[in-house]
Structure 1
Amino acid sequence: MRLRHIEVFHAIMQVGTISGAAQVLHISQPAVTKVLQHCELQLGMPLFERVRGKLYPKPEAHRLFAETEKLNRDLQGIRRLAASLKGRAIETIRLVSTPTVAIAVLPDAMTHWRREFSTTRCELATHHTNEIVNALRLGEADLALSLQDPRHPGIVAEPLAQGVMTVIAPAGTWTEEECTQPLSAEGLTGELIGLADNDPLGEMIVAACEAQGVHPVFHTVVQTYQIARSLVEAGAGTAVVDPFTAASSVASRVQKRAWDPAIPVQLFLLTASHAPLSHGARELANSIGAAARACLEKGCQ
């Protein structure tokens, strides 16, 4: 199948008629019919049943539609890019981040970056690290942020900021003097909020507890650090979270103490090894690094 075949085929699948496809593609009905006939001739089989002027896809057409869907989206993206270049539009930067970093760091970073890049289009999305790696490898993202180094041969991981795992508890849990001292597993008391079993940082915390002879019991287990922080802010218990989540908590509702022994946590800038960053994307990364370090400094106060 040629690209023109795919374009016409998708239009017909979406609207169901030759006339409708012609309107979508802004070409004549005879042109749509001619391309479809040529497509079916090359494939050696009909893709549609023709009944009273309407086309009904055969099973083969449905399978073909599913397989060519991504390619059709890519064609539309290329078309939009070409239109932007023709109109001298500024580049689009696609940034993907884990939810924790997106909430704790990106707002300040974007605000600072926008002062210089006021008209640059930036698309923001949140995913977990495994999905982020796939997005970078497939060219669906330009840069990404994660608290994990995926150690993938096709991904470059650049450290931007570093903190330590932090215990957060409802206000009034500890004295001011206690808040200046690290907290070990033996000091964990009351209701504990746990992280999901497959969370790398959560696994490190449980392992650290067990190394100290403590086997924590979690009656509440959450998927994201933000939920853990919100529960702590509401007085529902104590949690051990990453430093960015701890730093972004409401100071009047939460107390913080460093975890003992210290578990370092780094914020990584992830990029595809074959795709260097544009000037705008690199400056955005610089703003993110500065915002992340400022977030940690603020959280230590």
Structure 2
Amino acid sequence: MKITRKNDLSLRLLEIFEALMRCQTTVGAAEDLGISQPAVSNGISALEKQLGFSLFERTGRKLQPTEDARLFLAEVEPLFSILRNIETEARELRAAKSGRLRLSTTPPLGHGALPSILSAFLEDRPNATVRYSVRRLDTVLQNVKMGIVDMGFVLGLKTHLDLDVIELAQQNMVCVLPIGHPLESKAVVSPQDLAGNRLIGLESHIGTTIRHAFEETGAPFDAKVEARYCHTACILAAQGIGAAVVDPYSALFASNLNIVTRPFVPETKIVASVAVRRGANMPRIAIDFIEQVKRELARKDPSGLV
């Protein structure tokens, strides 16, 4: 159903009126708006015709606002305040300085590398808002698939049936040891070195990667303790329970604990990646954040060993 409306107020005419009230002369208003002086005068005449009352009294070459004009300005000013806010928001969105980041991440990245990267990213984005959740791998991927978040940062994932997976960096696994452990004096730690020492294993796909490294060298993998998360293994190691092979991001998070970190050989790579919905049109701020994460993760070994 089409509704016919008469005498709709033109936003452009309101803009001319606001500029004239602010600048107090047609010349000033014309310069402010980038239009001609006659265009200002014609615009005011058109607005007065639409409103049905006079806005200015013409005394010689001067325009004096009427009391109605002052009352009308009080009604118009909130509109222009809103428009200025919209213009500012649009500029910030174009520059990826505003918007909302919605991300989910597994603990190694969520507790290790991402917080410092996010802190630096937000320094010149005071109007950005963030939804940040740390979850299990399957929950992270499900959240991305359902559109609850725009991106999911994970370890050990290279492909996915329903999502696009973008590789960010590859780093080597490390060995964490309690301070005073017999292997602390070694420059690097191998599966053969760990044989005969109490070992903390992992109940995850990262744990599977570690077991393969042991199998390739012929060393037995005999974990006396098992944990689901790498940072949990670091906490157990700090209590003297045993040694653990973990990702370097978890080792970074646990660096203030009672542990030492050594390179693990043979080199065992773990890939950090971000999963996004296939074909999704992501916000510019999300794209820029992914690029910053990629730059920072590839900059150096997060464990600080190289």
The TM tier, using the shorter chain, reads: 0.5 to 0.7
Percentage of identical aligned residues: 20
Match for residue 139 of structure 1 among 135, 140, 147: 147
Which residue of structure 2 lines up, in the alignment, with residue 289 of structure 1?
294
**What per-residue deviation string (whole Å, max 9, x for no partner) do you get for residues 213-245 of structure 1?**
332322211111111011112222100101211
CA displacement 1:119-156 (0-9 Å, x = unmatched): 11110112222222222221111011001325224312
Distance 1:170 1:294, change over 3 A: farther
Partner of 2:107: 99
> Using the alignment, how far apart are the partners of 2:180 and 2:241 within structure 1?
13
How has the CA–CA distance of structure 1 residues 210 and 156 changed in structure 2, closer, same or farther, with 3 Å as cutoff? same
For the Cα contact (< 8 Å) 1:109–1:290, is it kept in 2? no
Query: Is the Cα contact below 8 Å between 2:202 and 2:229 reproduced in 1?
Result: yes
Report the TM-score when normalising by structure 2.
0.62
Determine helix, strand or coil for the equivalent of 1:299.
coil
Q: Which amino acid aligns with 1:184?
A: S
Q: Is the 8 A contact 1:161 1:266 kept in 2?
A: yes
Q: Within 5 A, what are the aligned runs for 1:100-139?
A: 100-139=108-147
Residue segments in structure 1 that go unaligned for 5+ positions in a row:
1-86
Shift, 1:294, TM fit: 5.1
1:209 corresponds, among 209, 214, 217, to 214
- Residues 137 and 251 of structure 1: CA distance in aligned 2, closer, same or farther (over 3 Å): closer
Which residue in the other structure is 1:223 paired with? 228
* SS of corresponding position for 1:300: coil
1:177 CA displacement = 6.2
Residue of structure 2 equivalent to 1:30: none
More divergent stretch after superposition (152-161 vs 170-179): 170-179
Output the TM-score relative to the length of structure 1.
0.63
**Residues 284 and 174 of structure 1: is their aligned pair in 2 closer, same or farther, counting only changes over 3 Å?**
farther
- Structure 2 unaligned segments of length 5 or more: list them: 1-84, 90-97
Q: Amino acid of the residue matched to residue 219 of structure 2? A: V
- Residue pair 1:248, 1:299 contacting (<8 A) in 2 also: no
C-alpha separation between the residues in 2 aligned to 1:263 and 1:129?
Answer: 20
Distance 1:297 1:103, change over 3 A: closer
Question: How many residues get paired?
Answer: 214
Distance in 2, matches of 1:153 and 1:195, equals 25
In the TM superposition, what is the alpha-carbon distance from 1:195 to its structure 2 partner?
A: 0.7
Which secondary structure state, in structure 2, belongs to the residue aligned with residue 190 of structure 1?
A: coil
Matches within 5 A, 1:158-177: 158-173=166-181
Partner SS state of residue 226, structure 1 = helix
2:192 corresponding residue in structure 1: 186
Root mean square deviation, CA, Å: 2.7
